[in-house]
Amino acid sequence: MTNNYLAPFVDELYHLGIREAVFSPGSRSTALALLFENYNKFETYVNIDERSAAFFALGIAKAKGRPVVLVCTSGSAAAHHFPALTEAKMSQIPLIVLTADRPAELQFVGAPQTLDQTRLFGDFVNHFENFAPPEAENFWTYPRKLAQRAVLATNNPAAGPVQINVPLREPLVPDLNPEHYRKGRSAQTFQIAKGKMSASFDDTILSRKTLILAGPNHSATYEQALIDLAERLKAPILADPLSNLRNFNHPYIIDTYDAFLADETLKHGLKAELILLFGQIPVSKRLQQFLNLQTSAHIVQVDPQLSYRNPVQTTTFVVQSDVETFAKSIQKVNLDSTYLNAWQELQEIWRAKLTTVNHENAAFEGRYVGILQDVLTSYDSQLMVSNSMEIRDVDYWWQKRDAQVRIFGNRGVNGIDGTESTALGLATTGKPTVLLTGDLSMLHDLNGLIVGKTHQLNLTIVLFNNDGGGIFQHLAQKGLPHFDYLFSTPHGLDFGALAQLTGLDYHSISDYPDFSKTLKEVLTVAGVHLLEIKTDKELSLALHQKYTT
């Protein structure tokens, strides 16, 4: 009967709506991997690198909006999940991490490939449980209850990962009798019903100077509700690119705020009396600095999980509510559009200035982002944007227009790792998918390319290669002693060699027309395509200053 109790656990997860499982190969996890695969109803993926596997699962969960199972063997394997789990926790992505383990008698005795995996991820999981071998009387039912608790915990109180540690004794190969999957099923199927959360809100604080901040939210479905609310309140919407509100060409949506909020006089003149914050804090540092000036305003954060999401700590009112429900509950109408008009006038001026980048002849990230948007707008598509400079380039040059381009980023802890793996996880939807990344981010996750080849996934990678850390050109470290060695970190690597190493389709982009033509050609062609664009860090800094100040 050894390990047979895992079969009803797998069956219960399927009945609770789990559809994907990601494995990294290993001996101690044999029973788990074989039982998931033998069940023959899950979409399964094998990724030889646990670090990449975890980001890959993260991408699937982001794109499909449901928990994904992640399986690894014992020892240091699980430790490689940690970077992705910190991102999952902070960005509220549901994962069920099954860490195979040695049994109790092999703990603390120097057994190979063994460490204490109890609560390995600390506070970065919503729930931890040790999957102990059950006693005879609940041999088939206990695994089902554990599966139910795991799925509930991925969404309680906020979405996030859970760790189930699974000590397994030899023999590690399970009995694959299909009858075992049906053992312990109850007469009544366990179900989870998610409801809408509403809360009372004192709308007497509504003001003629109301501002809506729409921050990153990969799972948002409330865009139209926010637009309708803005129309009633005559409130401008400052739309972060990861809010996906820039898929609406609406006059109340402001997408150039990071440029004109550099002006200290303007910042003070645009002070609000009420600010409504939805989603994570926006990418723009200048917007965060603007928030810090709002010492006399009511700053209301609306969040169904009551997560504090304001690093400048100016929030005065937190409302626990589903965003759409909250937005629809406010029916008061503001007839004064003076404050709105001030933001719209600046939007018009600065969008015209930013758009002049279309005449730039030198290789510049800003113009390439505009061409990328032009091409993707023709598709129901997905864009994964790496951190560092790429998300900031998108913030400036990705303008509002009617489209269906869903933009993703790992903004929970804002790391530059795991980008290829996350993008390939997103690509499992089958939609045209692009990763926009820089060279250092790309180097952090080269192993991620392997799963693209082994599982024949389709992804187009647009690589801005400025030979190092270009973002430091914009930061206080610029000009310090040893700047190149410690911060700019040039590497001189040839990304074209990845074609031979991983079998991807490589293109060295020569100019803007070549980029537009090549992107259109490869976007819907099977396989992984790498479009490398070489830029110069110093020139990019100068051009940023030219167009955004």
Q: Domain-by-domain residue ranges, the chain? A: 6-182, 203-350, 360-548
Are 96 and 146 in contact by the 8 Å Cβ rule? The answer is no
Beta pairing, strands 161-167 & 127-130: parallel
Q: How far apart are CA 213 and CA 453, in angstroms?
A: 40
Same fold, 6-182 and 203-350: yes
Burial (CB count <10 Å: 0-12, 13-18, 19+), residue 195: exposed
Overall CATH class of domain 360-548 = alpha beta
Q: How far apart are CA 45 and CA 56, in angstroms?
A: 9
* CA-based nearest residue to 391, from 474, 478, 498, 323: 474
In CATH, 203-350 is 2.60.40.420:
no
Side chain identity at residue 79, one-letter code: A
pLDDT of 28 reads: 95
Which of the four pLDDT bands, split at 50, 70 and 90, describes residue 141?
very high
Q: How far apart are CA 87 and CA 55, in angstroms?
A: 9
Using one digit for the tens of pLDDT, what is the confidence trace for 420-470?
Answer: 999 999 999 999 999 999 999 999 999 999 999 999 999 999 999 998 887
Mean of the pLDDT values across residues 168-180? 92
pLDDT of 278 reads: 95
The answer to whether residue 143 scores a pLDDT higher than 80 is: yes
pLDDT of 1 reads: 54
Q: Which fold has domain 6-182?
A: Rossmann fold (3.40.50)
Range from 84-88, 281-285, 382-386, 463-467 carrying the lowest mean pLDDT? 281-285
Using one digit for the tens of pLDDT, what is the confidence trace for 175-219?
Answer: 999 999 999 999 888 988 887 888 778 888 888 999 999 999 988
Compute the mean pLDDT over every residue in the chain, rounded to the nearest whole number.
Answer: 94
For residue 378, give both structure tokens. 């023709």
